[in-house]
Every structure is written in C-alpha cells, then in structure tokens.
Structure 1
Amino acid sequence: MTLRKAPTPPMGWNSWDSYGTTVTEAEVLANAEFMAEHLLRHGWDTIVVDIDWADPTARAHGYNQSAPLVIDEYGRVQPDPVRFPSAAGGEGFAPLAARLHELGLKFGIHIMRGIPRIAVERDLPILGAGVTASAVADPANACEWNPHYVGLDHSAPGAAAYYHSLADQYAMWGVDFLKADDLLWPYQAAEIEALSTAIETAHREIALSLSPGRDLSAAHLEHLRQHATMWRICDDLWDRWDGVEANFARLARWAPFAGPEGWPDADMLPLGRIGIRAERGEPREDALTLAERRSLVTLWVMARSPLMIGGDLPTSAPETIALFTNDDVLEILRDSAGNRELLRERDLVVWAASRGDTRWVAVFNTADEAREVPFDKRSVGLGPTPAAVVDLWAGAPVAVEVVHEQSDAARGVAPGSSVVRLALEPHGCVLLRARGHA
C-alpha cells in the first residue's frame, strides 16, 4: 500500500499524558466511545495507545529495567493480555482495532525504533530473513531513555526484514497510525527510511508520526516529507506555561512548511484530566488557566499542528472539552493558508492566516499581566474598513471603531484608522475572523 499522507493535520487522543506506560484496554475503549459520541463530528477520529503496551510490569513514573516484554517467536512485541484481554490467544491488537473501526475511528499505537533487547538476548529468528536478532542488532545505537530496545544495523542482511515483519503485523491488526519514537534526537535517517519503506509495502495505509523533536532542524525537511506523515518539533510538552511559550518560536519557524506533504507537530495537548498514572505529576485537571488553554489550542490551530488530546476524555471538565468542539476555531486547522507569525514584540505575538476573503488573526499576550491593546485592522491583515470582525472563542462580534483623534498615535494607530480594541488576559489571546471584502 502506502505511507498515508494526511490532507489536513491529524486529530485524536493519545494515552500518554493520562496513563503513561500503563493504559488498559478498558480505558482506551472509554476514551474511544467518548470521542465517537462527542468529538467525531468535529473531526477528532484517532485513538493512540502510547508506550510500553507489551510490558506486563508497567508502572507509573518511569520504565522498568529488564522488563519481561511480551514478544512472539520472531521478536515482535505483543500487547500484554492482562491489560488488553482481547489480545489473548495471539490476537494482538486486531480485536481492539476492529472495535474502534466499528465506532468510525482510526486506531494507532506507539512503537520504539529498533528491536527489543529481550529478543536479542534470546537470539530469536527474524521472520523470513534466515538470520537471528543478534545478527541485525546494533547495541551501540540504543535508546538513552528507554531500556527495552537497541537499534538495528541496517547494513546487516535481515535488518530490513525485521521492520517489514512489524509493518505486516500492524497491517494485519488493522493499525492506522504509528507513533514511532526515538527517531529524531539524534536524527536516525537509516531507521526512518527503513521503517517508512516497510510501511510502504504493507497491505494497509498507515500514517507515520516521528518523535521526539528536540533540537530538530528544518534542514531535514525534505527527508521528513518523504518518509513521514508528521514529525515532532519539540520534546514532551506538559501543562506548564513555559513549555507552551517555548513553542511560539518553534512554530513560527515550522508553520510555513506545514501542509499535506507533512505536518510539523508541536506535541500533544496536555489538557483535561491528566497524570492519572503518567510519567509526571499526580492526578489533576491540568495546571494551565483557561486563558492559557485557549492560547495553546489557538497557537496549534493557527500553525496547523496536529492535535492529539492528552486528557482522559470521560473525566475531563466540560469547559476543557468545549475547547475541542468549537468548529469555527477548527475550521482554521482544516482550511486555511498562509499561516504565519506577523509580529513578536516584547510580550505581544500576532499570527495570521487566510482563505479567499476570510482572514483570521490571533493576538497573544505572553506577559504575566493583563493588557488592553488597540489594533489598526490593516496592521494585522483584517483590512482597512469597518467590516464585521468576530471573536471566535467568545462567539460574538468585536466592535470596530474609526479613530478620529490622536489619542492612540503613540500606539501606532493613526487618525482615520479602523480599530479593534482587545482586552487580553495574562497568557491569554483573542482569535478574530473577518469575512467579506474589507
């Protein structure tokens, strides 16, 4: 088949922020059923089981050394049948994927690059290769933070066959989305190419997401577009404003390259009920303010980053879920162009996007204090005349006035200008839309 390219940024839910390495089948299904009932009609359609689904000893807050991963006779990890009962009897993820497909959803899993150490220690055969795991392993290129895997030596006969055996199994299970980890820091070009090639030959379209994106350079852009659906541009994001703020600069660099050829990914939305059994922190409704949550979603949408919710959907607060169901906001993600940062001066950041005669502008206040700002509509791309402007989060028109005096001259607003006056909360934003000739 082929590596799936997405015409619009993927949207879904991932278990990591809530459940870390320990998510169960029941918890996955609860989130899938919530998505199908409440979010699918708004474009959210993918459920991803994150890391260590093969570890029967998985725990919150870290990884287990020498974990007894569940593997088959060819060294391929299998779902732990205690946490995923439908996987018993060698069924793998096929029954769970089938259930999600019945709900109208796509099914995704997390994988690590390379081959499990336990497969190398047992020197298991590689399916269809005539060699064993020790012959294709590269222990010198091991993951520095997950102890379960080592790299593959892609100069060794049989290394490619291992990835082909994985892709064939995932296709047989009905997997639609792979989040492949430990590939971008450092940049593992040979592993990326081998995994992408294996997916290309599998009998199912599968989207490929690459992680993590620490220090990722746009020098890799064409390689990424050739071999992936989406790729991370940062390390893991959690519910702290400093992490969100750091992504303003990253997204300003990467947003001009976002499109169906590939989607730069600013990481998951750590919003809602998180930390239930996760890597960082205790169970909590995320620590961001409502203004900060809106700024996060707005920035991701304006940059057309993929959206993967991290909070446990059934137990997250209604005001958080409401952030994911605003179709006027999500329209920007799916159907805008020219998405870019227009202005960054001290604590003020402005982004713009357009489609035909529709224009969107997001104004962010990164300061710790509230502020009120008058904007000449022309300076933010909304046009020169008093055409209608709507605040998409408030769902209400924004007053447009014509300035006749010099009172705002010090703020760059000349007499005769059409002005919108914006009240910005600390770390907050206003998301504006103007339609028609202005």
Structure 2
Amino acid sequence: RYKTCAKAQPGSLGHEEQDAKTFASWGIDYLKYDNCNNGDTKPLQRYPDMSKALMQAGRPIFFNLCEWGDMHPARWGAAYGNSWRTTNDIEDTWDSMTSMADQNEVWAEYARPGGWNDPDMLEVGNGGMTNDEYIVHFSIWAISKAPLIIGCDVRHMSQDTYDILANKEVIAVNQDPLGVQGKKVRMEGSSEIWAAPLTGYRTAVLLLNRHAKDEAQITAHWDDIGLPAGTAVDARDLWLHKTLDTKFTDKMSFNVTPHAARMFVLTPLKSQMD
C-alpha cells in the first residue's frame, strides 16, 4: 500500500517486522527510514515500530531516522535510533551546505556515542561546489560528528574527491571515541571558529571563512576553544598533513581564503602533561 520515496518500491509501513527480518537476512548494516508517503502517521509512532522490529531481527543494524527534522528528533531520537536527520534535504550548493551545518549545530548537546545528529549526506564530488568548498563541507561534517555518508558515484570520482573523502586525519576527528559534537565558539562577520574536545586532552579546531570574496585573518583564542590559559600546543594541520613548526600559546592566527577552512588538532606539549 505504501511506497518508498521513488514511488516504485513497496514501503515498510505496516510491514516493519517482516522487512526488518528481510534486511537482516540480506546482511544489511544501515537502514535509513525515510519520511515519504507516510500515510500521515506520526514519527513517534512510526519510528518506534521499526526500531523494535530491528532490535528483534537478530542482527545489529544502524538505524537512521529521517523525518527531515520536523519534530526535532534530537530531543527523542536516541531512544529509537542511532542517528536522526536534523534538516531537510541537502543540495549540492554552498548555501544549502552551510545552512544544513547551521541548523545541525543547534542540536550539538544531544549528540553522543550511539546517537548522532545528521545534517544529511555528503555532496563532495557531485560538482556543484569548488574543491575548497567541499573541504569545508567535509571538515564541518567531521567536527560535527555527523555520519559521513558518501553521496557521489564512487565508481567515477576524481583524485581531488578521493583525497577529501579519504582524509584519514579528518575522519579520525569524526570517529574520536569521546564523541562530542563540535560547536561554533566564535563568530565575527563571515569568520567562524568551530571547536570540539577530543580524547587525549586534544582539541579539534576549524577556522572557517564564509565570505565569498575576501580573505580573512581568523584568530582562535584558548578561552574560546576550551584550553587553559598559558597552554602551549603542537598544531597538526589536517589538510596539509603536517605538524607546524610553531608552538602556539593562548591563541593561533591564520589567513583563510574565501569559502575555505583550515582544520587543526591541538595537542598540549608533553612537558605540561607530566
């Protein structure tokens, strides 16, 4: 009776138990349960039904609740699934991508291991943004601990696209076991600083220039990003893949080109940790 979003295949509504067991028998690891053609059923009825069916299916399946953020699922999604869409559908444009990031950031305090805010899939490689803009996209999703779901055709990706999607250092920030979603800690004009604590007393920092034409000097102060005053750190540049020669204390400042970002992991010097 009900159809999937493509309106071609049968949907799971009313057949949750049957479909969950079928998915498990197929070896499915991840289920995105979308909001199309829902027969006007409420999310808080529909998603618990599928959640219960999946838990009884005999296989661990990651459950993504995709009701487009309508009923603020960050408030209740963790009881039923592993991630929840906080936004409507993303488009392959700078304005759409940054809007998704902004909407998702509001719910940061609700994210934790086992339950994540999802600002929708990655558009990296689909051609609508510049390489620098895709680096911004991937960096924000990573520091936001968002699910990194590739949205391009992996059979035909360019080397630039591969280099972004396969950046192990940025992925490591996303997968850090502490599981704290990054937040905007300072905004000045078109400049933003995002930060997130990591395991090992480290801190992930993203310096983002949202201006379309002008370069910006962006300074991250330790009191904004949660480091104690006087802390000296090593700075690892995650896109240049190198540890900078400079040891930074109390602040770090960089020029960032338009619609671009610099991303770092800061590690307190060992002498201070003893």
Q: Same fold (TM over 0.5)?
A: yes
Q: Per-residue deviation at 1:216?
A: 4.3
Alignment equivalent of 2:190, drawn from 347, 356, 361 = 347
1:436 deviates by 2.5
Q: Which of residues 213, 224, 230 in structure 2 aligns to 1:384?
A: 230
**TM-score in terms of structure 2 length:** 0.84
* TM-score (ref. length: structure 1): 0.54
In the alignment, structure 1 residue 179 sits paired with structure 2 residue 32: yes
* In 1: Cα distance, 2:78 partner to 2:247 partner: 45
Q: For the residues of structure 1 that align with 2:267 and 2:50, how far apart are their CA atoms?
A: 44
Q: Residue type of the partner of 1:346?
A: G
C-alpha deviation, 1:187, in angstroms = 4.8
Match of 1:431 among 259, 263, 266: 263
Structure 1 residues 288 and 374: CA distance shift in structure 2, 3 A: closer
**Partner SS, residue 432 of structure 1:** strand
Question: Can you give the 5+ residue segments of structure 2 that lack an aligned partner in the other structure?
Answer: none
1:144-192: CA deviation from partner (whole Å, max 9, x where unpaired):
xxxxxxxxxxxxxxx5xx3212222222222222111117998521111
Number of the residue aligned with 1:4:
none
Contact persistence 2:214–2:257 (CA under 8 A): yes
Equivalent of 1:213 in 68, 75, 87: 68
Aligned residues: 261
- Report the RMSD for the aligned CA atoms in angstroms: 2.8
Q: CA deviation at 1:249?
A: 2.1
Partner of 1:48 in structure 2?
none
SS in 2 for 1:197: helix
More deviation in 204-213 or 291-300?
A: 204-213
Aligned position for 2:240: 394
What is the CA–CA distance in structure 1 between the aligned matches of 2:210 and 2:70, rounded to whole Å?
A: 23
Q: Supply the distance in 2 between the matched residues of 1:171 and 1:202 (Cα, whole angstroms).
A: 6
**C-alpha spacing 1:292/1:326, structure 2 compared with 1 (3 Å):** same
Deviation at 1:63, TM superposition (A): 4.8
Say if 1:253 and 1:260 are closer, same or farther in 2 by CA, change over 3 A: same
CA distance in 1 between counterparts of 2:18 and 2:231 reads 61
Match of 2:147 in 1: 306
> What residue is the counterpart of 1:142 in the other structure?
none
Among all aligned residue pairs of Structure 1 and Structure 2, give the percentage whose two residues are the same amino acid. Answer: 23
Give the one of 131, 143, 162 matched to 1:290: 131
Could you list the runs of 5+ residues in structure 1 that have no partner in the other structure?
1-50, 53-61, 70-76, 78-111, 115-158, 275-285, 403-416
What SS does the aligned partner of 1:267 have?
coil
Q: 1:331 to 1:226 in 2, by over 3 A?
A: same
Secondary structure of the structure 2 residue equivalent to 1:248: helix
2:117 corresponds in structure 1 to: 264
Q: 1:393 to 1:260 in 2, by over 3 A?
A: same
Q: 1:346 offset after TM fit, Å? A: 2.4
Larger radius of gyration: 1
Between 1 and 2, higher relative CO (CA 8 Å, sep ≥ 6) is seen in 1
Task: Judge which range, 307-316 or 165-174, deviates more.
Answer: 165-174
CA contact (8 A) 1:212 1:236 kept: no
Q: Deviations over 1:350-400 (max 9, x none)?
A: 111122321211111111123231525424435635532222111234464
How far apart, CA to CA, are the structure 2 residues paired with 1:170 and 1:341? 38
